[in-house]
């Protein structure tokens, strides 16, 4: 008998809080949808808590750690849900985010109904993602303080991209081996490594695209050691007019990001051509990510939060439509992605 609560959480609510991810989820093989969709909802709820700037970072951190404990099976008498409603849900301008926070009880109940391997995998991915959010709250100042802090070195940025996205590639790989046995011919450790790089490619794209906006809430993800090497400071990046001056730094980080995307391509091509749904779920974020980098590399005001390099919705739909023709062919997939990478490199 269908579970109406599960259907609502993984249907209308998931669609409401993430239209783009919902599209990807719908093309996944059926067995993978529930654990991946539920992991997304729980992580999105945690992210909403971490990003609610109207309450103090200390308060957000306490709620975040409480939610992590709940996901990992800690007993609760409903106190967490009441705290969410009282302290966070009422601060949400988006009604879907409010409903998500108020639906944490049912979401945790659905988590308890998953198979043991899926439940373990969801708990691990949500725990790691919340570790990334915890890193943000402990590393950067209160958004309203007017202060700014930068990461110290590239290894710190690399670790951060693992915590907030690279780990998703591992989780995705675990779900594939569990729910589609025999599909991936590569060794699990090879696919897990590529999956991590896949996630890092997407997060580095986000970091570079959103740099101007993040700086204005006190967060500079571009490492201090790189800034100094290029004769810059985090304060310098606050001035959109320094976009050209900071371009060598952008170019250096774009090259690292493109290297990650090459592993994302190898990950996708390791999926057999007959697994069209799984391939599409990987192909779409790669194509959209590279399209974002194409816009970014041509953006002479990339540090201006008013001129973010964002792919327009109609272009996203064009990319999705064109992917349907290329997805069964290794040659077409490789050519399409490598051609985009070459176009970006030609502009560096």
The single-letter DSSP state of residue 241 is: G
- This prediction has a pTM of 0.92
Distance in angstroms (rounded) separating the CA atoms of residues 191 and 123:
21
Distance in angstroms (rounded) separating the CA atoms of residues 348 and 345:
5
DSSP string, 97-140: HHHHHHTHHHHHHHHHHS-HHHHHHHHHHHHHHHHHHHHHHHHS
Which two tokens mark 164?
């907030």
Distance in angstroms (rounded) separating the CA atoms of residues 191 and 202:
17
Mean pLDDT by 10 residues, the chain (348 residues): 76 82 78 91 91 85 91 77 67 73 88 94 97 96 93 97 96 93 91 97 98 96 97 96 96 98 97 92 95 97 96 93 95 97 97
* Residue 341 Cα distances to 40, 61, 82, angstroms: 29, 39, 48
Distance in angstroms (rounded) separating the CA atoms of residues 223 and 79:
39
Which two tokens mark 256?
């690292």
Distance in angstroms (rounded) separating the CA atoms of residues 138 and 133:
9
CATH topology of domain 140-348: Farnesyl Diphosphate Synthase (1.10.600)
The single-letter DSSP state of residue 273 is: T
Q: According to DSSP H, which parts of the chain are helical?
A: 4-8, 14-17, 19-27, 30-51, 57-71, 79-87, 95-102, 104-113, 116-139, 154-161, 167-179, 188-209, 211-215, 224-229, 234-237, 247-269, 276-297, 313-326, 330-347
> In the block, which residue shows the tokens 């109609």?
314
> In the block, which residue shows the tokens 């043991």?
116
Distance in angstroms (rounded) separating the CA atoms of residues 293 and 55:
34
- Write down the domain spans for the chain: 1-115, 140-348
The answer for 28, left when phi > 0, alpha when psi is -120 to 50, beta otherwise, is: beta
Cβ–Cβ < 8 Å for 221, 297: no
- Could you tell me which of 18, 17, 16, 20 has the C-alpha nearest to residue 289? 20
């Amino acid at each position: 008998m269908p579970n109406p609560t599960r259907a609502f959480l993984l249907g209308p609510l998931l669609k409401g809080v993430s239209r783009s991810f919902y599209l990807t989820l719908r093309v996944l093989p059926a067995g993978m949808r529930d654990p991946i969709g539920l992991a997304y909802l729980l992580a999105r709820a945690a992210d909403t808590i971490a990003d609610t700037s109207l309450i103090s970072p200390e308060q957000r951190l306490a709620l975040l750690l409480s939610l992590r404990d709940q996901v990992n099976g800690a007993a609760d008498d409903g106190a967490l849900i009441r705290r969410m409603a009282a302290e966070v849900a009422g601060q949400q301008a988006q009604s879907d985010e409010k409903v998500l926070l108020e639906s944490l009880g049912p979401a945790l109940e659905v988590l308890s109904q998953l198979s043991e391997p899926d439940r373990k995998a969801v708990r691990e991915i949500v725990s790691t993602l919340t570790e990334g959010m915890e890193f943000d709250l402990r590393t950067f100042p209160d958004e309203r303080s007017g202060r700014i802090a930068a990461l110290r070195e590239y290894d710190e940025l690399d670790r951060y991209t693992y915590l907030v996205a690279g780990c998703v590639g591992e989780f995705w790989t675990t779900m594939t081996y569990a729910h589609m046995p025999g599909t991936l011919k590569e060794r699990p450790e090879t696919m897990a490594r590529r999956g991590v790089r896949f996630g890092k490619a997407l997060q580095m794209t986000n970091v570079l695209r959103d740099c101007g906006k993040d700086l204005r809430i006190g967060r500079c993800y571009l490492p201090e050691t790189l800034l100094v090497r290029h004769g810059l400071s985090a304060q310098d990046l606050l001035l959109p007019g320094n976009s050209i001056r900071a371009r060598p730094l952008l170019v250096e980080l774009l090259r690292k990001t493109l290297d990650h995307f090459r592993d994302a391509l190898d990950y996708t091509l390791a999926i057999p051509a007959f697994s069209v749904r799984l391939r599409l779920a990987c192909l779409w974020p790669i194509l959209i990510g590279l399209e974002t980098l194409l816009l970014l590399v041509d953006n002479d005001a990339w540090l201006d939060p008013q001129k973010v390099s964002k792919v327009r919705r109609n272009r996203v739909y064009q990319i999705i439509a064109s992917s349907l023709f290329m997805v069964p062919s290794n040659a077409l997939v490789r050519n399409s992605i490598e051609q985009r990478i070459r176009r970006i490199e030609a502009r560096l």
